[in-house]
């Protein structure tokens, strides 16, 4: 498994979420930042657990889905945020880092 830079991963996700959030960006940015840090930490932890044989790739995918759903739910607390906007922001963020994450982990964790 390659190295996962949690900070860089979160920053890439944050940058990718800006466009889908549009005029809600200023309000949503603090929520998004926290959630993308959580997702990046989860990805790093998943990688370590898969390497250690504590998680299968299928379990890893479920773990990421749970974190993704938590991020979407957190974004929905922003006044005016629609479910579609929250989902688009999270999917855009994950899409921006999918190739790097999948390469670093050595298996496809993020497939959108």
Q: What is the pLDDT of residue 3?
A: 80
The answer to whether residue 1 is domain-embedded is no
Q: Dump the DSSP string for 72-93.
A: HHHHTTSTT--HHHHHHHHHHH
The answer to whether residue 89 is domain-embedded is yes
Give the burial class of 27: count Cβ atoms within 10 A of its Cβ; 0-12 exposed, 13-18 middle, 19 or more buried: middle
Range of the domain at 66: 6-105
The answer to whether residue 110 is domain-embedded is no
Task: Quickly state the pLDDT bin for 1 (edges 50, 70, 90).
Answer: confident
Over pLDDT 90: what percentage of the chain? Answer: 95
The answer to whether residue 71 is domain-embedded is yes
Average pLDDT value over all residues in the chain:
94
DSSP character at residue 40: H
User: And the tokens for 28?
Assistant: 């949503």
pLDDT for 93 beyond 90: yes
42-88 per-position pLDDT tens digit: 999 999 999 999 999 999 999 999 999 999 999 999 999 999 999 99
pTM for the full predicted model: 0.93
Q: How many domains does the chain have?
A: 1
CA contacts within 13 A on the Cβ side of 89:
34
pLDDT for 2 beyond 80: no
The answer to whether residue 13 is domain-embedded is yes
């Amino acid at each position: 498994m390659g190295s996962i830079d949690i900070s860089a991963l979160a920053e890439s996700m944050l940058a990718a979420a800006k466009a889908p959030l549009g005029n809600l960006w200023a309000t949503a940015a603090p929520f998004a930042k926290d959630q993308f840090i959580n997702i990046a930490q989860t990805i790093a932890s998943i990688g370590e657990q898969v390497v250690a044989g504590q998680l299968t790739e299928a379990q890893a995918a479920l773990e990421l889905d749970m974190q993704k759903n938590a991020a979407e739910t957190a974004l929905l607390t922003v006044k005016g945020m629609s479910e579609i906007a929250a989902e688009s922001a999270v999917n855009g963020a994950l899409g921006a880092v999918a190739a790097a994450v999948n390469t670093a982990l050595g298996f496809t964790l993020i497939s959108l």
